[in-house]
């Protein structure tokens, strides 16, 4: 089945899908995005992802290019046309196409929208989850609006590349006080020796992950105590467990941080249980 992308109102073959050279996303990273997991052909937590999309757009004063119901049809249609059962659907909205100039483009410039879908082999992700992943830490050198899911991701790209070059799957950003903020494309969590589940509060220094939000319900159902507070790299290395959350990986155990084992160096029981239960609490559409 050949891949199809949705670009500004048209479904086009993926290899021909293109945006204008003066798209402000291309020139200025002036746009936002969302990634929804697709599982068994259904979108996971679409409603929450669309809520966050609207917030990101409104913080940047970019208009929503179409109604939410229409957007939902497009997302499902792209998934269907690409025959994706398990994978992700990617949505990007930019401030549109205009002559290159830093201020906002003229009134009436239409935001540009792209939607793609791709398959991810669930067995591959399960293998990572079974083994657990390694993370490395890097200084958090991002701007102070990381609560917006902006397509400006250079620090995240450099951080992820550092991780890959050191044989790790993810990089954790560390703030000036030595506390972990979040991953380059995930939220960061630890489990203490007292079985408290700790993650940073959504105080503007992290992206409020949708997986993070849903996991709070899973924690309640498991009678686990949640503590929203910062934690240091040393505390994470000495923790009983560590894990990350993101739409494409749900709950992923972390077994090494900066080359040092977390707990006994194997995926933790709590992370594994939360992963097993996550989708019972997620919305499917
Ligand atoms: N933090 C960052 C910086 C991210 O890029 C992501 C996801 O891409 C997340 C956290 C996790 O968010 P979500 O659970 O909504 O995928």
Nearest CA to ligand 1 atom 2: 185
* pLDDT tens-digit readout, 73-109: 999 999 999 999 999 999 999 999 999 999 999 999 9
Task: For residue 108, report the distance from its CA to the centre of ligand 1, in Å.
Answer: 31
Catalytic-residue membership of 149 = yes
Query: What pLDDT is attached to residue 218?
Result: 98
DSSP state at residue 236: H
d(CA 46, CA 180): 28
Query: What pLDDT is attached to residue 31?
Result: 98
Task: For residue 244, report the distance from its CA to the centre of ligand 1, in Å.
Answer: 10
Query: What pLDDT is attached to residue 38?
Result: 98
In what helix (H) or strand (E) does residue 127 lie, and over which residues does it extend?
helix 122-131
Active-site option among 149, 160, 208, 220: 149
pLDDT, the chain, mean: 98
Q: Is the pLDDT of residue 174 over 90?
A: yes
d(CA 245, CA 239): 17
Query: What pLDDT is attached to residue 106?
Result: 97
Lining residues, ligand 1, CB within 6 Å? 35, 182, 185-187, 207, 209-212, 245-247
Q: Is the pLDDT of residue 1 over 80?
A: no
Quick one: average pLDDT of 220-242? Answer: 98
Task: For residue 201, report the distance from its CA to the centre of ligand 1, in Å.
Answer: 14
Q: Tokens 């790299």, residue?
A: 233
Contact 173, 139 (CB under 8 A): yes
Q: Taking the mean position of all CA atoms in its chain, how far away is CA 68?
A: 20
Q: What percent of the chain has pLDDT over 70?
A: 100
* pLDDT tens-digit readout, 9-55: 999 999 999 999 999 999 999 999 999 999 999 999 999 999 999 99
Task: For residue 55, report the distance from its CA to the centre of ligand 1, in Å.
Answer: 15
Mutation to probe ligand 1, out of 207, 208, 245 (largest number of atoms < 8 A from CB)? 207
């Amino acid at each position: 089945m050949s891949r199809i992308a949705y670009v500004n109102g048209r479904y086009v073959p993926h290899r021909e899908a293109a945006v204008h050279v003066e798209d402000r996303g291309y020139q200025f990273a002036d746009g936002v995005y969302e990634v929804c997991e697709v599982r068994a052909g259904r979108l996971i937590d679409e409603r929450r992802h669309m809520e966050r999309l609207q917030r990101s757009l409104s913080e940047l004063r970019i208009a929503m290019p179409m109604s939410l119901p229409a957007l939902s049809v497009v997302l499902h249609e792209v998934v269907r046309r690409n025959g994706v059962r398990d994978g992700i659907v990617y949505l990007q909205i930019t401030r549109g196409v205009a002559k290159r100039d830093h201020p906002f483009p003229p009134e009436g410039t239409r935001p540009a929208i792209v939607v793609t879908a791709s398959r991810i082999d669930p067995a591959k992700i399960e293998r990572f989850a079974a083994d657990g992943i390694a993370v490395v830490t890097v200084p958090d050198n991002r701007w102070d609006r990381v609560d917006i899911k902006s397509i400006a991701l250079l620090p995240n790209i450099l951080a992820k590349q550092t991780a890959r070059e050191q044989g790790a799957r993810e990089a954790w950003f560390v703030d000036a006080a030595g506390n972990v903020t979040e991953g380059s494309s995930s939220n960061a969590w630890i489990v203490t020796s007292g079985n408290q589940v700790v993650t940073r509060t959504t105080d503007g220094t992290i992206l409020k992950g949708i997986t993070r939000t849903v996991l709070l319900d899973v924690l309640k159902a498991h009678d686990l105590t949640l503590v929203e507070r910062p934690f240091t790299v040393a505390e994470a290395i000495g923790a009983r467990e560590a894990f990350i959350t993101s739409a494409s990986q749900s709950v992923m155990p972390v077994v090494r941080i900066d080359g040092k084992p977390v707990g006994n160096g194997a995926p933790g029981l709590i992370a594994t249980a939360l992963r097993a239960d996550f989708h019972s609490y997620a919305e499917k559409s």
